[in-house]
Amino acid sequence: MKKDKPDPNSVKGISRRNFLKGFGITTVGAAVFESGQATKNLKAAGLLNVSDSIPIEGAKMILYVNSKEYSVHIKPKETLAEVLREKLELTGTKTGCERGSCGACTVLIDDNPVNSCMFLAVDAVGKQITTIEGVASDENLHILQNEFIENDALQCGFCTPGMIMSSLAIIKKNPAPDDEYIRKNLSGNLCRCGTYPKVFQAVIKAAKG
C-alpha cells in the first residue's frame, strides 16, 4: 500500500481486512447458482462484504442477473457490459459505441434502463440486473418480444436487445405510454436500420397488452 494513502482499515465501516481474508480463493470465470446458493457459498468464504473496498486485482462477487445469482470475479475497472458479455457469456447485450450514446448495451438495473457500457460491474453488485436473456419467461416470449416480431420492429437486430430493454422499462413505468413518451424514452437507443416507427407501434401494442 502506498504511504500517502490513508489506511482504509482504520476507517470505520470499511472492511478491507474482511475482504483480504478471502482474496486467495478468487477464480476467473463465473459460476451460476440456484438462487440463494451462491450467497451461502460466498458467506462461508467470508466474501460477502467485499463491496466496500476492492483491490485492483478484483474479487469474487455476486451479481443478480435475470433472477439468477452469478458468482464472478470482477475487477473494479470492468464495466457491466464487459462482465455480462465476456464472463457470464450473456452476449445478447451488445455494445455499439462504448460511450453511452447508442443504447445497444441497455440493461435494466432495478427496472431502470442504464448503459451497461458506462456502468461499473462492481456498482451492480446487490442490484437486480435484467438483460435481454431474462425478458422471456421459460418458453414464453414476453408480449413485447411478440409485438416486436409481429410489427417487424427489427431489421439487422443488433440494436434490438437494447431497444427491447428500453421499451420494457417504458411499459413497466407507464401502462399507457403516448407517442411522445415513447419517443423520449427511446431517445437513447440508436437504430441504424431505421426500425423506430415499428418499435413505437410494438410498444404501444405491448402496453395495451
Partner 1 sequence: MNKKEKVSVGLPDNLREIIIEIPEDEPKPWDGKSELNYIGKRVKRIDGIDKTTGKAKYTFDVKIPGMLYAKFLRSDFPAGTISEIDLSKAQKLKGVYSVLPAQDDLPLIIRYAGQEIAAVAAETAEIAETALQQITFKHTTSDFVLSVEDAIRENAPLVYQTTVKEKTTEGDLDSSESSVVQEGNIRGPKIFPEDENAEKFDDYLRNCEVIHTAEYRTQVQTHSAMETHGVVVEWGSDDKVKVWASTQGTFSVRNDIADYFKLKYNDVRVITEFMGGGFGAKFGAGLYGIMAAKLSRATGKPVRLMLDRKGEHLSVGNRPDSLQKLSIGTTKEGKIKALKLISLGTGGVGTGAGTSGPIKNIYDYEKIYVEESDVFINAGPAAAFRAPGHPQGAFALEQAIDEMAHKLGIDPLEFRRINTTGNYIRQTQYVLGAEKFGWDKRNQVPGSIKGPIKRGFGVANSVWYYIYNKGFVATVTINRRGEVQVINGVQDIGGGIGTVLAMIVAEELGLEPDQITVKIGDTDNGFGPASGGSQTTAGITPAVRNAAYKAKIRMIELAASILGKTTDKVTMEGSRFSDGDDISKSLSFQQVAAKIPGDEIRVTAERRSDNLGREEIKTTIDGVQFADVTVDTGTGVVKVNRIVAVHDCGRPMDRLTLESQINGGIIQGISYALYENRILDRNTGIMVNPNLEMYKIAGARDVPQIETIIMDFNQAMNSTGAMGIGEPATIPTSAAIANAVFNAIGVRLRSLPITPDKILAALEEQSK
Partner 2 sequence: MIKDFEYYLPKATEQALTLFSKNSAYKAGGIDLLDLLKENIVSYDSIINLSGIDSLDFIDTEIDLKIGAGVSIQKIADSQPIQKYCPALSESASEIATPHIRNIATLGGNLCQKPRCWYFRSKDFDCSRKGGKVCFAIDGENKYHSIYGNQDGCAFVNPSGMATVLTALNARLQILTKKEIKTINLRDFYYLPAEKLTCEHKLNDGEILLSVTVEKENLLRKNYYCKIKEKQSSDWPIAEICIIGGINSLGNFENVSIVLGSAAPIPWRMIKEEKKLEGLQATTKYIGNVVESSFSDANPLRDNAYKVKLFRTLLYRGLCSIAGLESER
Instruction: Give the whole-angstrom CA distance, residue 143 versus residue 89.
Output: 25
Nearer to partner 2, 46 or 55 (CB): 55
149 binds ligand FES (CB under 6 A): no
Distances (CA, A) of 12 to 2, 8, 16, 52, 135: 20, 8, 10, 11, 41
φ, ψ of residue 75 to 5 degrees: the values are -90, 150
201 binds ligand FES (CB under 6 A): no
Q: Contacts with partner 2 in 106-135 (CB under 8 A)?
A: 106, 112-115, 118-120, 122-123
Q: Contacts with ligand FAD in 91-130 (CB under 6 A)?
A: 100-101
Instruction: Give the whole-angstrom CA distance, residue 32 versus residue 46.
Output: 19
Find all residues with CB under 8 Å of 38, minimum gap 6, and list them. Answer: 31, 32, 62, 69, 70, 71
From the list 17-25, 36-44, 82-90, 191-199, the region that binds ligand FES by CB under 6 A is 191-199
Q: Which does 173 bind (CB under 5 to 8 A by kind): partner 2, ligand FAD, ligand FES, none?
A: none
Beta bridge partners of 63: 70
Instruction: Give the whole-angstrom CA distance, residue 8 versus residue 49.
Output: 14
Q: How far is the CB of 131 from ligand FAD (least distance, A)?
A: 21
Rule CB under 6 A: which residues touch ligand FES? 95-98, 100-105, 115, 117, 154-160, 191-193, 195
Rule CB under 8 A: which residues touch partner 2? 2, 4-6, 8, 11-14, 51-56, 75-77, 79, 98-101, 103, 106, 112-115, 118-120, 122-123, 166, 169, 183-185, 187-188
